[in-house]
Amino acid sequence: MLRTGMRLRTGRCIPTAILAILILCCPAGSALATKYAGSFMENGGGARALGMGGAFTAVADDPSATFWNPAGLATRADRQILAMHSERFGDLIDRDFVAYTQPVGWSLFGGDQAGIGVTVIRLGIDDIPFTDHLTDLLDTDGDGVVSDPELQNLLQYQDEIRFKSDQELALLLSYGERLGAWRVGGSLKFIRQSVGEFSSLGIGADVALLRPGLWRRLDFGVKLQDLTTTYLSWSTGRNEYITPAVVPGLAWRQPLPSWNMDLTLAGSMETRFENRGDADQYSSGAMSANAHLGMEVGFSGKVFLRTGFDSGWDAGDLTAGAGFRFDPLTVDYAYAGDSLDIDEVTHRISVTWAF
């Protein structure tokens, strides 16, 4: 918080150019990083992806691809809406994720298939007490500092405490296109945050690649998050910067026809350059990374079981989930362990409607 038209044969050049940008841009932005700026977006959305430990970069085959890898929109066959709601610490923190995707009959780079998506991410914290306006009343000795004994008098003015809200919103406009064997995509992000009378505005962009069948049944994906560095300008005059992050991933899809089952194994590595140190799973200098591993087993394309590890290998980093498909609806549930060791687990439910 306060804190044009290329022909299909150019498809090979586009992935190469984007990968070059990955190498050149990421380290350069590290000096401008503001730790955890825009962190309300980091967990993405969709209970399916979260049940797989967030290892969804190379999977990206449902509407939550708008966040995890917009290149996955290239081959969408129908229109879909995904909606997810979650609460933490009772109902203190509310988080919503809604994504709409659909195929389109045009393309920007001369590819043979394309899709678009619109996503809204919201995090809200209500009833935050603001007491700055009571400083003169509490500072009984007039030294300009409210000491602990003076703070005890706050109960006398409890009716004058002002309660405000923290609202954090992101709008993603996403596009994906198939260029031969590759899929390319990107998202334009608009961000607004507000805490009481203070607010910020920001804009940024993600770029992504997806290559199904890179080797046999192995799929490859990579997302360059906040490609141009996302700038957040606060009404207080302070600016924050979200520097680029690289998220490569792999996924192996194995059909098991003898049992009428499908197995998906996935992994990704979220790599940042903002000196997070021990707050992330691995760190060296300004660079840090979190590993994500996940597995999904599907039964007859109707029932799904999932598990994974999200940014660690302890019991608190374990994730799990299940899904049930009743065309045209799919209902997914995800569980995330007590990674903060505060006796607080997370439950998420998302519903997807295809039409």
* Joined tokens for residue 117: 């998506």
Residue 317 domain-assigned?
A: no
116 pairs with which residues across the strands?
102, 175
The tokens for 148 are 């602990």
CA 119 to mean position of chain CA atoms: 11
Which amino acid belongs to residue 226? Answer: D
Is position 1 within any domain? Answer: no
Any long-range contacts for 322-327 (C-beta under 8 Å, 24+ apart)?
A: 322/51, 323/47, 323/48, 323/51, 325/301, 326/302, 327/354
In 3D space, the residue among 213, 282, 223 whose CA is nearest the CA of residue 249 turns out to be: 223
Q: Examine residue 257 and state whether it is found in any structural domain, yes or no.
A: no
Alpha helices in 28-139 (DSSP H): 47-51, 65-68, 135-138
Question: Rounded to 10 degrees, what is the CA torsion of 248, 113, 13, 55?
Answer: 0
Q: Is residue 209 part of a domain?
A: yes
Calpha distance 293→109 (Å, rounded):
33
pLDDT digits (tens, 9 = 90+) for 77-133: 999 999 998 877 656 778 899 999 999 999 999 999 999 999 999 988 766 666 666
Q: Which residues contact 191 (CB under 8 A, 6 or more apart)?
A: 38, 41, 168, 169, 170, 171, 200, 201, 202, 203, 204, 230, 232
| Residue 263, in any domain of the structure | no
Q: Which amino acid is at 310?
A: D
Average pLDDT over residues 64-83: 97
Please state, in angstroms and rounded to a whole number, the distance separating the CA atoms of residues 67 and 41: 9
pLDDT band, very low/low/confident/very high, at 181 (cuts 50, 70, 90): very high
If you average pLDDT over each of 3-7, 279-283, 329-333, which comes out highest? 329-333
Instruction: Look at strands 287-299 and 282-284 and give their pairing.
Output: antiparallel
Contacts of 142 (CB under 8 A, 6+ apart): none
Domain containing 67: what range? 8-249
Query: Which residues are within 8 A (CB) of 258 and not within 5 positions of it... i.e. 6 or more apart?
Result: none
Band (pLDDT 50/70/90 cuts) for residue 31 is: very low
* Cα dist from 26 to 5, 44, 162, 186, 188, whole Å: 28, 21, 42, 17, 18
CA 318 to chain centre: 18
Higher-confidence position of 161 and 323: 323
Looking at the DSSP bridge assignments, the partners of residue 100 are 81, 118
Q: Give a yes or no: residue 183 inside a domain.
A: yes
Number of domains in the chain: 1
pLDDT band per the 50, 70, 90 thresholds, residue 44? confident
Phi, psi of 339 (to 5 degrees): -65, -25
Buried/exposed 72-83: b ≥16 CB within 10 Å, e otherwise: bbbbbeeebbbb
Per-position DSSP letters for 220-259, written without gaps between them: EEEEEETTT-EEEEETTS-EEEE--EEEEEEEEEEEEGGG
- CA gap 351, 82 in Å, rounded: 6
Run of H or E residues at 8: none
343 has pLDDT over 60:
no
* Domain-embedded: residue 169: yes
Question: Which pLDDT value is given to residue 172?
Answer: 98
Global pTM exceeds 0.85: no
Cα–Cα distance, 137 to 109 (Å, whole number) = 64
The three-state secondary structure class of 263 is strand
Least confident segment among 41-55, 249-263, 295-309: 41-55
The answer as to whether 255 is a domain residue is no
